[in-house]
């Protein structure tokens, strides 16, 4: 009798990484405020095998100015979430999405001239 051949792939492992509804609510709340302020215009979401990416664009046909990434492989190290700038520099990384997104909220706060 021949040994049993295992079925390819692990059925319990997810096929792709995705943002959860609560994570998207936090991201889209910030996105809506930035659109209202006239800073951002468009977004794109990518669900890949090892990372989920929320890309933010100033205009539709450009490269993203910011990327919010969810990478489960980094859960136990630097943190699950990261914000990456246009040049590829990591602006903030951490375990809590709201804390990581604060780096983008600072762009919303600016001085107002009352003259």
Averaged pLDDT of the chain: 82
Which two structure tokens, joined as six digits, stand for 94?
């951490």
- Could you read off the pLDDT of 91-103 as tens digits, one per residue? 999 989 899 899 8
- Could you read off the pLDDT of 8-48 as tens digits, one per residue? 665 565 578 888 899 999 999 999 988 888 888 888 998 88
pLDDT at 14: 56
pLDDT at 111: 46
Please tell me the distance from the alpha carbon of residue 24 to that of residue 32, in angstroms, as a whole number: 12
Please tell me the distance from the alpha carbon of residue 86 to that of residue 48, in angstroms, as a whole number: 20
Q: From 1, 41, 40, 44, select the one nearest 19 (Cα to Cα).
A: 44
Please tell me the distance from the alpha carbon of residue 108 to that of residue 115, in angstroms, as a whole number: 21
């Amino acid at each position: 009798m021949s040994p049993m051949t295992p079925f390819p792939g692990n059925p319990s492992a997810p096929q792709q990484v995705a943002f959860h509804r609560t994570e998207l609510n936090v991201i889209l709340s910030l996105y809506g405020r930035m659109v209202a302020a006239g800073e951002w215009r468009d977004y794109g979401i990518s669900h890949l095998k090892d990372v989920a990416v929320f890309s933010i664009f100033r205009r539709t046909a450009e490269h993203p100015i910011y990327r919010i990434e969810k990478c489960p492989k980094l859960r136990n190290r630097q943190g699950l979430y990261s914000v990456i700038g246009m040049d590829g520099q990591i602006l903030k990384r951490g375990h809590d999405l709201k804390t990581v997104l604060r780096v983008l909220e600072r762009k919303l706060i600016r001085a107002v001239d009352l003259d």
